[in-house]
Every structure is written in structure tokens, then in C-alpha cells.
Structure 1
Amino acid sequence: MSRLAPVLSVSPCRGLVDEKLTVLVENLPPGLPVTLHSLHLSEDNDYWEAFGHYVSDHRGVVSVADDISFGGTYTGIEAMGLLWSMRPVPDGRQQLRLRRTNVCSPLLISISVYAGHQAEGFRKLCPLSSSVIERWYVAPGVKRVSVRERGVRGTLFIPPGPGPFPGVLDMWGGGGGLVEYRSAMLASHGYVSLALEYLSAEEMASAGEEFHYFETAFSLLQEHPQVVPDRVALFGLSLGCIISLCLAAESSVAKPFCCVGISGSHLRPEGEKISEVSRLFETQADKIIFDESGHQIWRGLGLAVMHDSDKVDVGKINCPFLLINGTDDQNWPAVECSEDISQRMKAAGKEHLLTVLEYPEAGHLIEPPYSPHFRVTNFKKNVKLVWGGKTKPHSEAQEDAWRKMLAFLQAHLYSSGMPRAKM
């Protein structure tokens, strides 16, 4: 080995989760095979890892952003492969989702370099060098405020600075509960974001499932003193996208300035209750198919539900709407729904309001950038669901979609002469 000890540097060592990393190893002997490895212990005490195989150049340097990984959980030149290709360690629990609950503390990720091309047993090996980095969902100064008002449950994230700021009502999918990390990131980019809780197990039959609940949440956000009242957007994934489309088209209370929808549809729940969506699924349960491992694929069920159900009159939408889909979505026929939405809006003379992004070989769960890809995960009642997507194209879709979502929000919510708030 070289007289000088190998040096591993990772920059930034402390940054937001959507910031790119620079990973550099120096002082190696030229032509040395090495393995770069990342390791994270989740809040559920599960270890996640990723690794790539490299060979040092003539200077004894490996640059993850510039050099080829010849094997591992990713291959090729992939600056962020040590994050987006993370997976549970082989001897741990499988089919998990890596989702942060406590967004006020960082993801701690250990990055190490090992001699040789290693593929297993990393925790038993001695690294040549290691570094621990922090990946934050909240920027310095972002405030987190619990919301329990007028029956609405959620968490409000407020950017630093005097404001006021545009607002975003952030809604996730049919898994229900409170999911905060996307809202925390939106606040870190200059938006007051309300992560809305709904479909909580203890309140499945409550009025919290009626559209009045979402209208009230929209009004609460709109009325907040740090929010510009006429610059509030809807942002929803899956079931959250269904709610966004319904509110944008048919609500007399919620008048969004723009909307972002991911992997959703224009399904209209009967009786204006979200619980009716689950009941629609029950009537078509025979359309669920199983893959060779017994995992459930709901795409066919979704096609049947959409065929037999009422649709939102999307021709009534009067604000810009960005729809994002993956062509390998195995959970919902989002691409087909998007095509029908496009045709209906065109017939109504509203096609200029709709922007559709489709990502080849991406799945249903298009998350913030550099999040690990989950093709199959555990769902409610021990159901194992196939979400779809292939790891590299899905990860590329997440990065590109996040950049375009932020550009879309900025173009509309900070447009028409409104200056971007100082943070």
C-alpha cells in the first residue's frame, strides 16, 4: 500500500437529501481494486446498504462522480448510486420501505472504502477509510408545527424568513397516516407545506374522510399568516392525486393556483367519501393478480375500477396541472388515466393547463430524489404489493421529476411579479 493512508472525502458532509454528493478517495496505489460502500441504520433498526466496485486511476484516485463502477448494487458512472441503490442487507428483513418519520433529525450514512471488490460481510471487514454524513429533510430555520384544528390533523412546515410564502397542501396515498418528509423538503425550498394526515386506522369511518375535510385543510393553509392566500397548490401521490384532481375540478372552496399529481387518476369516490375508494376495490378484488412469488399486482384491479366508476369532470379544472407517471406502474393504470384526462381536458379546451411527464420503466412510488427504489414492499394487513419500476430508470425518474416539480411550482407560485421570498 501507499506510504500515505488512503483519504476518503464526502461533500457535503451535512446537507439536504436532494443535494448531490461528491465522493473522492485519494492516496491509493494506482490500479487498486476497491469497493465503496454506504450503510444506514433506519429508525426501525434495519440496516440498508449499497456498494460499487472501482479501480483507482494512475494517480491513485477514485471519483464516484467520474469513474465507472464495474459491479455492486449499481454499475456505470453514477454519482449518487451509493444512495439510490440502497437495499436492506441480505441477512435483514426484506421488502421494506425506507421512510423517515422524525424529519427533525438527519439520516446518518456511513460511507467506507475497502480494498478489493467485496460483495458481502462489510461489517466484519476493516475499511481503509470511512466518513459519516448527515442528510437532512429540513433546512436550517424551517419550523415544524403540529396541526390539530377544526378537525384537521397534520404537520405544517414553515420556511425561514419573514414571508409570506406560497403554500402547498401535501397528500400521500392509500397507506394513510401522516407522512412528513416531502413537506419538510418543500419548506426547505420556500413553501409553507401542510403534510395532511388522513385515513388513520382509528378514524376510518369519521367525517375526516369526506371532501369537506380536505377543503377545510386547504382553507386552514390559505388563512395562515405566513401564506400568500391566492398562491396555494395541491400536491398528491396516488390517492392524494385523486383528491387533488377532484378538488381542483369540483370544489367550491378549494381553488388551487396549481397542482402536482403523481401516479393517480380521475376516479370520483361515491358519496364524496374517501372510504368509498376502498369499497370500490373490494367489488373488483377478483381482478388482483399475483406474480410468481405471490406478490399482489393491483394494476388490473385499477383498470376494472376505472371502467366501472364515475370520473371527475376534469374539464372544469382552471389551474395548471402537472401529472407525473411511470410506464411500469404495476399498482395503478396511471398512464391510461393520464391519457383519458388529456383527452377530456382537450375536449373542454383546457389542454393548455395540463403538462404530463411519463418516465419509461419507472414505477408507482415516485419519491423525492435519491430515495431507494422499492419494486415490492409490505403493505397493509401483510399484503405484499408490486409497485413496479426498474431501479436505475426509476431513480433517474425521481431525480428528474423532483427538479421539474420544483420548477413548475416556482414558475406558477412565484410568478406574476411575486418576488421569491428570502430564506
Structure 2
Amino acid sequence: MLQHPKVKGPNIGLLGFSKGGDLCLSMASFLKGITATVVINACVANTVAPLHYKDIIIPVLGSELQKQKNTDLGLLNLVDIWNDPLEEHNQQSLIPLEKAHGPFLFIVGMDDHNWKSELYAHLASKRLQEYGKKKPQIICYPETGHFIDPPYFPLSRASVHSVLGEVVFYGGEPRAHSKAQEDAWQQIQIFFQKYLNGKKSVQHSKI
């Protein structure tokens, strides 16, 4: 990343959403030079596919598809299918956040119907503090769904799941979700400016 012409350096920040979020948690845990990490609606355990890094393999957090539900419109609701990462036989899938050197910001949509994102953010916070690490920043947005895009992107309440190939419900109420996207955009900039550039304040984007 530092060799990329678009990367200013010397610090690197990561921003990940959903599966990309747990990949960023893994990168921050294993790679050097990660100074700040923002995670939007992600799991605290490894998901979808086993993670391989050198001689380390983090298995997938299992799921039980029979626990999926259907909305009134016939869309899949997956929030309850994921196994509890704290159960003993699932703990190997937990990402070792305590190995990370930089701070975390968790952005949470409280109406996320893909992950139990608020629960996972607080599990991450508890784990970090148990290992003597700094408590992460967690920002929760009521009535906000899974896809917290940059401001003025339309709310995506449902889409075809890239793995299942079926239409999945992601939650969110239009007005609250739109406001959350605006605020989250600013909060992410403030976080990165503070930990990448050492600035306590940031000029708000006009977007």
C-alpha cells in the first residue's frame, strides 16, 4: 500500500464494510503499519471463507441457514443464522484484535438485518479492553440498515446476495438512514484526520 502512488503515507488507515470489515480487522491484527481502522457493520469473527496468513488459519464462523426468516415481501432476513462466536467451538473464528496497534472506529446500523452489528462491536470492545487495549469508538445509528454508504447514495434495503444468489433484506428507514450516512461520513473523516494526520478537527466535506 505504501508503494502505491495514491497513498500519502507514512501511516495507513483501513475502511471496511460487511465482509470487508472483518478483513480490515484481520489486516489490522496481523499487518504492520496500520494506524487506524474503521469498520462499518461487520462481524468480529472471520466469515464466508477461511482466512490464511502465513502459517495461521482462522476458520469460518458457522451459520445455520434453517434459521433464516422471510419478510412480508418474501425477502430473506439472515440476522439470526450466524453462530455465536463466543461459544467454545466457535472461538477459533474470532479475529485477534488485541494484536492490532492502532485504534478502531465501529459504525453500527441498529436496524442491520445482515449481522448483529451492534453486538459484534461491543464484543470487540470488550475483547480489546480485556487485553489492556484502548476502548474503541462505537457510533450507533437507530433505524439504520446494513448499507451505510457515503451521503446521498439511495438507501439499499434489499439486494441479491453475492454468495446466496437470493434477494436479502438489509433494513433501514429512509430518513434516519440518510441522516446516518451524512453523519458517519463526517465521523470517519474526523477519525482518520486525527489518527493519520494528527489533526484534532477537520473541515467538513461539502459532499
Aligned residue number for residue 43 of structure 2: 265
Conserved 8 A contact 1:284-1:305: no
CA contact (8 A) 2:103 2:134 kept: no
What is the DSSP-based 3-state SS (H/G/I as helix, E as strand, rest coil) of the residue aligned with 1:258?
A: strand
Q: Which has the larger radius of gyration?
A: 1
The Cα offsets for residues 243-298 of structure 1, whole Å up to 9 and x where unpaired, read as: 1111111x1x4431111110002213574259x999755x5211211122221111
Measured against aligned partners, the alpha-carbon deviations of 1:209-239 in whole angstroms (never above 9, x if no partner) come to xxxxxxxxxxxx2123553442111110000
Counterpart in 1 of 2:119? 336
Task: Provide the C-alpha distance between the structure 2 equivalents of 1:271 and 1:403, rounded to a whole number of angstroms.
Answer: 33
2:127 aligns to what SS in structure 1? Answer: helix
* Alpha-carbon distance in 2 for matches of 1:394, 1:343: 27
CA distance in 1, matches of 2:50, 2:39: 22
The residue that corresponds to 2:23 in the other structure is 243
Q: Secondary structure at the match of 1:223?
A: coil
Residue identity opposite 1:369 in structure 2 = P
CA contact (8 A) 2:11 2:33 kept: no
Whole-angstrom CA distance in 2 between matches of 1:337 and 1:322 = 13
Match among 130, 149, 152 for residue 367 of structure 1: 149
RMSD of Structure 2 on Structure 1 (CA):
2.5
* Aligned-residue identity in percent: 27
What is the match of residue 214 of structure 1? none
- Tell me, in whole angstroms, the C-alpha distance in 2 between the residues paired with 1:226 and 1:374: 30
In structure 2, relative to structure 1, the CA distance for the partners of 1:400 and 1:230 (3 Å cut) is: same
Deviation digits for residues 102-123 of structure 1 (CA, Å, limit 9, x no counterpart): xxxxxxxxxxxxxxxxxxxxxx
User: Which of the residues 71, 78, 103 maps onto 1:291?
Assistant: 71
State the alpha-carbon separation in 1 of the partners of residues 144 and 7 from structure 2. 34
Residue from 8, 11, 23 that aligns with 1:231: 11
Letter of the structure 1 residue corresponding to residue 43 of structure 2? S
- Which residue in the other structure is 1:390 paired with? 173
Shift of the 280–265 alpha-carbon distance from structure 1 to 2, 3 Å rule, reads closer
Structure 1 length normalisation: TM-score? 0.42
Unaligned runs of 5+ in 2: 200-207
Q: Which amino acid aligns with 1:232?
A: I
Structure with bigger strand share is 1
Superposition pairs for residues 35-184 of structure 1, below 5 Å?
Answer: none
Match of 2:105 among 308, 312, 322: 322
- Paired residues, number: 190
**5+ long unaligned stretches in structure 1:** 1-220, 417-423
Distance 1:224 1:280 in 2: 33
Contact kept in structure 1, 2:50 and 2:60, CA below 8 Å = no
